[in-house]
Structure 1
């Protein structure tokens, strides 16, 4: 796909009025987090914008179009959607590396805090689910 119109046409979905309001509200929370990431080093931007775009694609075509054309993260979202919701292999690898590092640090800090093991187990389970999802469910761009 080469145009925003084609992407909007393919990925926009209809929702009930209640779901529309809910999705727009949650989408704005994600957008606020994405905007914070523009100015705070280390805070992700596109990682927050992707779920916002997804929610807007199910609730508000105008906001979905805005996320695809935004000057800060629009090009990354456009690439993601125009290639069929795929990520380059090196990006998937780095995502898995960062998830692993942050999970290991979180497990270590939880251990230092004196947790009997429930927190570490929960973090490890979430880590496994995240790595599995990125590796197997997110398509790799060739």
Structure 2
């Protein structure tokens, strides 16, 4: 069986399209996360910026220049830093989600597993520079 050779421009266009789709999907989830408790904003915005940097200069620049998202993206790209305010909000939301999980999960171990994952993320987050 012979392999099909695709022209490089077609592959590059497909790859760029996938990066753009990831960037806009992550941006959309990040914006929804502003209003929906339990859905994180910062990780999705950072993912959107990363994907946009690989595919869309315009979107990446828009994120860098944005009044709300710009500082977190610039801090992350420059030093891998997360603001203290973002850390506090993230831990507060994870704590609220843990309480909700323990109140509503059918089995205690399900809530404990989710809470343990959030605790690992919280520890990692607090070890990041500010």
Shared fold (TM-score, shorter chain, > 0.5): yes
The match for 1:85 among 67, 72, 80 is 80
Comparing both chains, which one has the higher relative contact order based on Cα–Cα distances under 8 Å and sequence gaps of 6 or more? 1
Task: Call closer, same or farther: CA 1:34–1:127 in 2, change over 3 Å.
Answer: closer
Pick the structure with more strand per residue.
1
Which protein is bigger by CA-based radius of gyration?
Answer: 2
Task: Call closer, same or farther: CA 1:104–1:37 in 2, change over 3 Å.
Answer: closer
Q: Separation in 1 of the partners of 2:83 and 2:31?
A: 24
2:46 matched residue in structure 1: 50
Task: Call closer, same or farther: CA 1:94–1:44 in 2, change over 3 Å.
Answer: closer
Cα deviation code 1:89-141 (max 9, x no counterpart): 4542342232122222222221xxxx2334223312321332232123xx222
Q: Separation in 2 of the partners of 1:34 and 1:118?
A: 29
The match for 2:93 among 87, 92, 98 is 98
Please say if residues 98 and 111 of structure 2, whose CA atoms lie closer than 8 Å, have aligned partners that are also in contact.
no
Q: Separation in 1 of the partners of 2:33 and 2:84?
A: 24
Classify the secondary structure of the residue corresponding to 1:58: helix
TM-score normalised by the chain length of structure 1: 0.61
Structure 1 residue 36: Cα displacement: 4.3
Q: Separation in 2 of the partners of 1:120 and 1:44?
A: 18
The match for 2:113 among 122, 134, 137 is 122
2:8 matched residue in structure 1: none
Q: Separation in 1 of the partners of 2:109 and 2:36?
A: 31
Q: Cα RMSD between the aligned structures?
A: 3.0
1:32 matched residue in structure 2: 28
Structure 1: segments with no counterpart, 5+ residues: 1-15
Following superposition, which runs of at least 4 residues in structure 1 exceed 6 angstroms of deviation?
none
